[in-house]
Structure 1
Amino acid sequence: RSIQEAAVCALVAGSPTIGFLGFAVLDPIYGNTVSTNLVIAIISIVVNVVTIPIGMYLINLGQAKDRAKLSVQAENAVNAKANAKGDITLDPARDAATDKTAELMVHGTSNTGKNRNGNLQALLDALKQPICWASLLAIFLVLVGIHVPSQVAPTFDLIAKANSGVAVLSAGLALSTVKFSLGWETIWNTFFRLILTPAVFLGVALLCGMGGDMNKISMLVMAVALPPAFSGIIISSRYNIYVKEGASTTAVATVAFAATCLLWIWLVPFCVG
């Protein structure tokens, strides 16, 4: 897989949809408590402020490398054309048109590559995306204690309530545009998201001495055992990267969660006990 494909795969298989299904799954099981809300909030912050910016950075970095590679190929094509002129007589009009096209390719790719190449530029390009800077801005406003004025609070409440529905609709539209396929990569991504990741968290939690609090360790495992975050498939469809595999993974994992949810509810007390 290319860098950008691997980045989208990581966003799909690595991030739980805690912001959309967290309250719907955790509240009925563990109750609408401060602890439940904190778990959902903290994991949502990690997903939106850490993993998504890293994924966007890797996407931009991979695209910059592809542009640089295309630039080199275009320049080699121009050089090969120039060398061939000395040995082969070609039609002047067609030759001029070919050279002009090649020069445009070099100009359009090499300039872009020079301006956008490098880790720092890829990071800056990632932070320019609203999905990255909006989350960072929200965290900053909370940390410095800036509150939303009561006059406009109902507007933001309306947006917050519509957030989950719009995300599910967007994910559904993305899923409807690709043909479903059940391959080994989809199966592995689903296993990684629903089985392997929560199993690792369970093991680390036990090693860190959390086994004495059944409710906390169970809530932690369930929070990271949720299906893939919808943001991954939305980003995939936005950039047309890893769409087929990402959509199939999201669909399969969402359906399979009905079984793995019950599995972890039974397995965590068994392992701790």
Structure 2
Amino acid sequence: MEQFISKMLVSDLIPIIVIMLIGYISGRTNEFKSDQARIFNKLVLNFALPAALFISIVRADREMLAQNATLGAISFVGLVGLFMVSYFTLQWFFKRTKAEAAVCALIAGSPTIGFLGFAILDPLYGTGVETGLVIAIVAIVVNAITIPIGLYLLHAGNKTTSPDNASTESTLLSVIKQPVVWAPVLAVILVLIGIKVPPEVDPTFVLLAKANSSVAVFAAGLTLSAYKIELDKEVAYNTFFKLILMPAVFLLAGWACGLDSHILQMLVLSVALPPAFSGIIISSSYQVYTRTGTSSLAVSVIGFIIAAPIWVYLARIIST
């Protein structure tokens, strides 16, 4: 277990913290302006992240999805359910607007599986089919379901993004046009109907996808440099929700449904990942919930260093 934790720190967590710190220092020293984070965010949100999601999902097949129906069901119900819990809690208890609650749910209620899933799980569990399957299923739910829901709620509740009081149909259309929405949806459709993407196109998508994690983490640090980190009740709640409540729910659900120990460990670690960088990118792009969102990200990234090995250990104990 000590070797596992050391590997997690060296291969996964320290690089994330270092790159985010570089982005933060670059902003504080005016090497980059904090508002330039929007440019990096646009690169990730419209190009790198959709490419990463598309190429990771199309590598799956219908048989893999069918054989892991339980994993898919737990991921769908758990992620969508907790996403909505975060959304309504922010409105009821913290008196946030619908748009702010939507962005918070995209952050606190969603793991950064598209950005860090492979970066975290591959060094620990290998690059086998099981690893790719867990990441693909969680990524499908997060990016093809909860992100569209979050964007829809954001557009519907934010008069700035819909100044003419746009109809439900036009709001939904604006959401569907987002590459981060239609790219994973397209990938899922191709998998379900059995269309294989030629392997010759992989290098193009992979090269573009390589900008995903590093640029997103750097941009998160750059965005954070413009704000003083808040340590209030709301940030504490978001951190608790992301690092404790979510993995606890999935651990109990996976154990109750009899998931394989290896799969359960990867699933719990996947949902315990820091808040979705896509949520931070969306927050920065729309200038909604930016200060508290970036503070929640910063605190959660630090907290993940402690939480991750604990959850993996608990998953091993419970599932054996």
Q: Normalised by the size of structure 1, how large is the TM-score? A: 0.75
Cα deviation for residue 141 of structure 1 reads: 4.0
Are positions 1:137 and 2:232 aligned together? no
Q: Contact 1:174–1:234 (CA<8 Å) still a contact in 2? A: no
Encode CA deviations 1:91-125: one digit per residue, 9 max, x unaligned. xxxxxxxxxxxxxxxxxx6xx12xx13x3332222
Cα distance between partner residues in 2 of 1:208 and 1:146: 32
2:181 partner amino acid = C
Q: Contact 1:11–1:52 (CA<8 Å) still a contact in 2? A: yes
Cα deviation for residue 31 of structure 1 reads: 2.3
Cα deviation for residue 135 of structure 1 reads: 2.8
| Structure 2 CA distance for partners of 1:183 and 1:158, relative to 1, 3 Å | same
Cα distance between partner residues in 2 of 1:162 and 1:123: 28
Q: Summarize the alignment of residues 14-53 of structure 1 with structure 2, pairs less than 5 Å apart.
A: 14-53=109-148
| Structure 2 CA distance for partners of 1:146 and 1:58, relative to 1, 3 Å | same
Cα deviation for residue 158 of structure 1 reads: 1.1
Cα distance between partner residues in 1 of 2:280 and 2:219: 9
Uncovered stretches (5+) of structure 2, i.e. residues with no partner: 1-95
2:197 partner amino acid = H
Cα deviation for residue 270 of structure 1 reads: 2.9
Of 169, 173, 187, the match for 2:218: 169
| Structure 2 CA distance for partners of 1:141 and 1:209, relative to 1, 3 Å | closer
Q: Summarize the alignment of residues 22-171 of structure 1 with structure 2, pairs less than 5 Å apart.
A: 22-64=117-159, 112-113=164-165, 116-117=166-167, 119-144=168-193, 145=195, 147-148=197-198, 150=200, 153-171=202-220
Q: Summarize the alignment of residues 190-229 of structure 1 with structure 2, pairs less than 5 Å apart.
A: 190-210=239-259, 213-229=260-276
Q: Which moved more, 1:58-67 or 1:227-236?
A: 58-67
Encode CA deviations 1:129-171: one digit per residue, 9 max, x unaligned. 2322233233334444152573x54332210222222222222
Of 251, 254, 260, the match for 2:307: 260
Uncovered stretches (5+) of structure 1, i.e. residues with no partner: 68-108
1:197 partner amino acid = M
Aligned residues: 224
Are positions 1:242 and 2:289 aligned together? yes
SS in 1 for 2:158: helix
Cα deviation for residue 226 of structure 1 reads: 0.7
Cα distance between partner residues in 1 of 2:187 and 2:128: 23
Cα deviation for residue 176 of structure 1 reads: 1.9
Cα distance between partner residues in 1 of 2:301 and 2:198: 35
Cα distance between partner residues in 2 of 1:260 and 1:173: 25
* Residue aligning to 2:108: 13
Q: Whose Rg is larger? A: 1
Q: Contact 2:155–2:161 (CA<8 Å) still a contact in 1? A: no
Percentage identity across paired residues of the two chains: 53
Q: Indicate the RMSD between aligned Cα atoms, in angstroms.
A: 2.1
Q: Contact 2:268–2:312 (CA<8 Å) still a contact in 1? A: no
